[in-house]
Structure 1
Amino acid sequence: MKTIDDFYLNVEESIKGTFLALKDIILKQDKDITHVLKYGMPFFCYKGKMFCYLWTDKKDKQPYIGIVEGKHFDESFLIQDKRSRMKIMMLNSNEDLPLEQIESTIHKAINLYKSGIIRIKNA
């Protein structure tokens, strides 16, 4: 069985550092965030409810953060494409991460759950 650590060990070297930095950034945003492997990718949950994940774009091989409830976001840097619920934040593994953008997006996602717009089990 594959573990979350195996994911990071086996990810392409060119984006491994970006994924590891994103993991640390996301986990630092709230004490109720947990980190799990679902569908073969790292997901981050807030009080057990999935709210974002890390993945790589098939075309340009660049990393992105997927926001599960992205349909509630209006930020121009989030891309919906043909997704009905999720939006993604594309990143460039050769550039510095846009820390403020990432942190504000993560906080906005968490606030959806805290506000009750998105229901949390046993909350």
Structure 2
Amino acid sequence: MKQVDDFFNDLTEPNKSFLLALKHIVQQHIPQLQLSIKYGLPFFTINGRLFCYFWTHKKFNHQPYISFMDGHRMQHPALLQEKRVRAKIFLMDPLADIPLTTVKQLLNEAIAFYKL
């Protein structure tokens, strides 16, 4: 977990607090997820499969986002595909409240593609 802690500790505010809160929400909503650092980013996995990760979007003023690895199968209108083949992202404003209802909807839609 030290790598995960280091990742979050190296972030600057407001993204640090925002992504730490988002991490807590994801872990509470789907306790089966495992968190580790893969490709330099905090990745959640389930049953050894990549589920989602957090990062910031360089083109959108470093807004934080959650990226769903099976996003190409998801239909939620708030998701952006951009030039990604498989993943879709959900951008969020770190100065606003986390859109809890939307995040939980996305987590529920994404977890449906995994056998628990």
Which residue of the partner structure matches residue 100 of structure 2?
Answer: 99
Counterparts of residues 23-38 of structure 1 (less than 5 Å) = 23-38=23-38
* 1:67-98 per-position Cα deviation (integer Å, ceiling 9, x unaligned): 10100011111000111100000000011111
RMSD: 1.3
TM-score of the two chains, using structure 1 as the length reference: 0.88
Alpha-carbon separation, structure 2, partners of 1:77 and 1:21 = 20
Counting matched residue pairs gives 114
Which residue of the partner structure matches residue 51 of structure 1?
Answer: 51
User: Percent of pairs identical after alignment?
Assistant: 39
Q: Secondary structure at the match of 1:113?
A: coil
When Rg is computed on C-alpha atoms for both structures, the one with the higher figure is 1
- Following TM superposition, where does structure 1 have runs of at least 4 consecutive aligned residues deviating by more than 6 angstroms? none
List runs of 5+ in structure 2 lacking aligned partners. Answer: none
List runs of 5+ in structure 1 lacking aligned partners. Answer: 115-122
Q: Secondary structure at the match of 1:79?
A: coil
* 1:28-72 per-position Cα deviation (integer Å, ceiling 9, x unaligned): 122311101011110011122111000000121110000101000
Which residue of the partner structure matches residue 20 of structure 2?
Answer: 20
Counterparts of residues 4-15 of structure 1 (less than 5 Å) = 4-15=4-15
